[in-house]
Amino acid sequence: MRIVIAGGHGQIALRLERLLAARGYEVAGIIRDPAQGDDLREAGAEPVLCDLESASVEHVAGILQGADAAVFAAGAGPGSGAGRKDTVDRGAAVLFADAAERARVRRFLMVSSMGADPRREGDEVFDAYLRAKGEADEHLRTRLGLEWTVLRPGALIDDAGTGLVRLEAGTGRGPIPRDDVAAVLAELIETPATAGLTLELISGSTPVAVAVKDVAGN
């Protein structure tokens, strides 16, 4: 099984790459900076150079050709302005979803954000971020060729993962270690019965595998 991750050097992506490689998957991570390649190789992933802000759908579809699943985990990151929230958190996500559909990749996971809303009002950068994420999620839902799942984590923290989460359509706000976000993504990739769901994720009391099976109806 080949899995391609956009934003391959991100904090969640690197964790996910390690998990997937340990499970025996072939993993590729899309990066813009070739200097990040060694970090991906150390995580067990193949680095693929591509700037999703300027690439064409055709080029990205070529990267995705033959993949069994795609994960959008890219982001403009802290310190970026409203313009890059639009070009990365919305534009690159839309491009990646369109390319995945063109390449006939069935399984698609979107790492979104709690509070994402295409109709979010406000002029602050965080408002622009939540609008961009909401617009990307809304676009993904129109991609009928994809078995998509949207994951909206709460406040991301660097504490060690506990493996215990709360994963529901609506959880309310709360923190979640990046370790546990990656663990949930790994389970979601293997659980296509969660296709069509938008899920919120915070720390909780349910083991990751059980939580994913519960939302899948298993």
Residue tagged active-site, from 72, 108, 129, 148:
129
Alpha carbon distance 199, 120 (integer Å)? 19
Catalytic site includes residue 129: yes
Q: 3-class DSSP state for residue 71? A: strand
Instruction: Return the H-helix or E-strand segment holding 25.
Output: none
Residue 52 · residue 84 · CB < 8 Å: no
Q: Tell how far CA 106 is from the center of its chain.
A: 15
Structure tokens at 169: 């359509």
- CB within 8 A of 124, min separation 6: which ones? none
List the catalytic residues.
Answer: 129
